[in-house]
Structure 1
């Protein structure tokens, strides 16, 4: 199979625009790596920006966006299955796969071959953990001692619960830990990253949040609630859906919601970069591109470098 061309970066780094431009130049197709963009009806809050997939009147094919209904459960094991199917289909028709996104744990699991999240869901344990604070969950997570502790993404309440679930399973089934660790085939990949200066990233995040609120992000959450999703389900998705739900249920004022949401998105971007640095420590080499260059310059560099890398690999 052709090596993956991976473009990653924190929120508001410009990775989707770059992936679209690169895909046009190499006749590629994009597989999204975003744990929330898989859901239909969660558009503004997840920043799908599907108009960006059209460039010079050419529609760039994308995959793993709008594949589940909001409220359904989805984990990295599901992502592995969906990714593998899409990757094989793209390869069969001679397309280059451009893997683009910012969900670090999903990227890490594909690029390193770790498959801990194939471990089954434990609904009983989840019901005990759901109301604990992030601090309480973190303390509980650190009581375990498995190989998974070095790999886990504990950046959100949702992922902490899943991390504890996996840790408990591996503790109770130690003979399976190594098998889970080695059970996914690791693809060849060439990885590129965008990391704008912090002050630029912060400006973009703030401007984008204001734009999305003006575009109807609050109304989007209202529609999701009207469709039957509970406040707890929406809060589970974090960030925009959490804080807007808290506003709609009267727990935060509009001013408080905006301020807290903006702060949390900035923190989220910082955590993303921390996770990407962790990926590098785990042996994944990321070619960091000057994020302040024009997208056209960035794309020309990526395509040229990727083609050279393929020649070296083969």
Structure 2
């Protein structure tokens, strides 16, 4: 068994990290733990880009964890992610597997790769009321002033920004050393995709998912009782599709604004990953355009070098 405890595959949206991770898992006879803050929700499939078909490699289903584990409308958090990650990770290690964590949610990845000791954060009604009149831009600027860690890549609605500030304020007042998390020796692989190729893939994928019924998915979720504001909370696709489905914007406005938002999101993801490197993480970058076989060969060579 290799000396690594974990392999992490990270990259921006549309970089092809999931099919790469699945092919690697098939080669290493292991399983995948997702690190995506929105794919945990059941029924939110097209909007979160689950692409579950990617987990079938040469006719074999690759087991995955932490996808479809919460109901839509629920506000899952990084404390819960750490808990659920550890449960899946330890079960896999007991079976002699080398787990692969794959995703693009920087905070989720960093919280397990660095072993932050996090606690659940209660609501702060007074703080929420004080921030309620501020714009997203003002809230984002406030969030930048904190020195501790928060997933600013995913903050694209007012509610998410207020929650992020609420979390930062809580940790300012409370020590963060109350929960043990194991130190993991991780091989971190980044999928580096050319900016223009990434933009083209994002646009193509957005059109494809709209053709596949992404608007209908949002309408179904609302018909099942999910409040529009709860869907908007999740940002990106769910924010703009809900605005369109509730007649707040036109289809053309929805497409243009959503396309721009996804491009900006991918850029923020890369900014986060570069920040991880500045914070001491070693990320081995692999060109997204390489054939799968070559990507897998690079990882296997890295494992042998330990």
The 3-state SS of whatever aligns with 2:21 is helix
- Structure 2 length as normaliser, TM-score? 0.93
56-65 or 182-191, which deviates more: 182-191
Matches within 5 A, 1:73-92: 73-92=75-94
Name the structure with the higher helix share: 1
- Could you tell me how far 1:141 is from its partner in structure 2? 3.3
Matches within 5 A, 1:168-207: 168-173=169-174, 176-177=175-176, 179=177, 183-207=180-204
- Could you tell me how far 1:290 is from its partner in structure 2? 1.6
Partner of 2:242: 245
| 2:65 pairs with one of 63, 66, 79 | 63
Partner of 2:48: 46
Partner of 1:281: 278
The 3-state SS of whatever aligns with 2:264 is helix
Summarize deviations over 1:211-239 as a string: whole Å, max 9, x none: 00000000000000001111100000000
Matches within 5 A, 1:254-273: 254-273=251-270
The answer (yes or no) to whether the contact 1:125–1:165 under 8 Å persists in 2 is no
Partner of 1:154: 152
Q: Is 1:230 aligned with 2:232?
A: no
**What is the root-mean-square deviation of aligned Cα atoms in Å?**
1.8
- Could you tell me how far 1:139 is from its partner in structure 2? 4.0
Q: Any gaps of 5 or more consecutive residues in structure 1?
A: none
Q: Distance in 2 between matches of 1:20 and 1:126?
A: 43
Q: Distance in 1 between matches of 2:7 and 2:172?
A: 36
- Could you tell me how far 1:168 is from its partner in structure 2? 1.7
Q: Is 1:165 aligned with 2:162?
A: no
- Structure 1 length as normaliser, TM-score? 0.90
Q: Any gaps of 5 or more consecutive residues in structure 2?
A: none
Number of aligned residues: 300
Counterparts in 2 of 1:8 and 1:127: CA distance versus 1, 3 Å: same
- Could you tell me how far 1:294 is from its partner in structure 2? 1.0
The answer (yes or no) to whether the contact 1:152–1:163 under 8 Å persists in 2 is yes
The 3-state SS of whatever aligns with 2:33 is strand
